[in-house]
Amino acid sequence: MEYSPILHNLHVVPSSHVKNKLFVFCIMLSLWVYMIYCCVGYCSTVPNLTYRSVNRHENDSEIDNQDSSVGASRDLLNNENDLDSRGDEWDEIRGEAKALDDNAMSGFLNDSESKKLPQAIIIGVKKGGTRALLEFLRLHPDIRAVGAEPHFFDRNYDKGLEWYRELMPKSSEGQLTMEKTPSYYVTKEVPARIYTMSKDTKLIVVVRDPVTRAISDYTQTRSKKPDIPSFESLTFKNISAGLIDTTWSAVQIGMYAKHLERWLQYFPTEQLLFVSGERLISDPAGEMARVQDFLGLRRVVTEKHFHFNPAKGFPCLKRPEGNSKPHCLGKTKGRTHPNIDPEVVQRLRDFYKPYNRKFYRMTGHDFGWD
């Protein structure tokens, strides 16, 4: 048989070509298997983080089932740890879980995040607007705040600072860690305890007209206990004598000057910021400018973040870069107040007048409640 170069080439070249293809295919297959392995290992960690975050907040909200007392106040009708705050806290827990998902990648890439004790605390007052302020502040990228009220300094102090630290969200260098527990302002042991943690802690107090605050406090309680006595009967020790019952916490909380005296024994006035609950509604951007300045932050939260909701009577939040629907506080906020006897309201105003004037002098600000 005659030798043919053409047949020889046809035999050799295809064999070499197939070997090259198989070699490339094996390399590509190995790379794909490695990438799938890495992705599965990475993604499996994300749900665990989210679950731990939500589970931690479940524990946080359980804290709020414990009883509290404000000095010697008669607080049997005003359990702060009701479904109002718990409902709002669960909204925040869902929000924090979503934020964790959104920032999961950056969290993995940034090992510098850690849990820190709060450098600023919203210490009061109940029904003053603390929830609204916290929600407004959480829009700021340099603030990390725990949603549920820890009640560390008034109810859980014996658990220690490490327990408290573990409740805080992780934050990076340059971010401010915060919490809010409104009962701190009226609890006598708290100023010394916060001072012991850090004498540099910045303190924020949201206050409003004490008469309106007391009625709001009563309205919240009545929404869950419809059979409680009337506001008028609870306000007075003796209706005929017109003696105000200052042991009722709804009345006692509004004696702002009395509580402030305790705080000034430990902290200078420059370390406390008094936010107007009324202005937080009528001019949220203006009040937020004061808060951000006090905390040493850039003025990031401005008028473009607010949308007034006439149905609820207070501003809702919106993200200026998107077209999403504004986010309002829960349905437990903005309840309609019951009609109170005008004479009772006037007697309360007369009762609070000397406390208000002293409070104005102590803070250097006239809130215009009289």
Given 126, 127, 180, 202, the catalytic residue: 127
146 vs 169: CA distance, rounded Å: 6
Q: Which amino acid is it at 231? A: F
Residue 326 burial by Cβ neighbours in a 10 Å radius (0-12, 13-18, 19+): middle
Does the annotation place 336 within a ligand binding site? yes
- 127 annotated active-site: yes
56 a known binding residue? no
Nearest to 347 by CA among 235, 217, 254, 213: 235
To the question of whether residue 94 is assigned a binding role by annotation, the answer is no
Cα 315 to Cα 89: distance, rounded to the nearest angstrom: 19
* Cα(71)–Cα(165) distance, integer angstroms: 26
358 is in an annotated binding site: no
Interhelix angle 45-63/83-102, rounded to 10 degrees, is 160
How far is the CA of 32 from the CAs of 20, 36, 39, in angstroms?
Answer: 19, 6, 11
Q: Is 307 annotated as a binding residue?
A: no
With contact defined as beta carbons under 8 Å apart, do 350 and 244 qualify?
no
Largest separation between any pair of C-alpha atoms in the chain? 134
Element (H, E) at 84: helix 83-102
- 131 appears as a binding residue in the annotation: yes
Burial label for 159, CB within 10 Å (0-12, 13-18, 19+), is middle
Note the residue count of the chain: 370
| Phi/psi of residue 168, nearest 5 degrees | -75, 150
Spatial separation of the C-alpha atoms in residues 60 and 47, rounded to whole Å: 20
Establish whether 335 is an annotated binding residue: yes
Tell me if 52 is assigned to a ligand binding site.
no
254 assigned ligand-binding residue: no
Is 171 annotated among the ligand-binding residues? Answer: no
130 known member of a binding site = yes
Separation CA 59–CA 190 (nearest Å)? 22
φ, ψ dihedrals at 207, nearest 5°: -125, 155
Distance CA 78, CA 258 (A): 20
Rounded (10°) angle between helices 130-137 and 284-294: 70
- For residue 299, say whether it is annotated as part of any ligand binding site: no
Q: What tokens does 163 get? A: 């327990």
Q: Where is the binding site for 3'-phosphoadenylyl sulfate, in residues?
A: 127-131, 208, 216, 333-337
The catalytic residue positions are 127
Q: Where is the binding site, in residues?
A: 127-131, 208, 216, 333-337
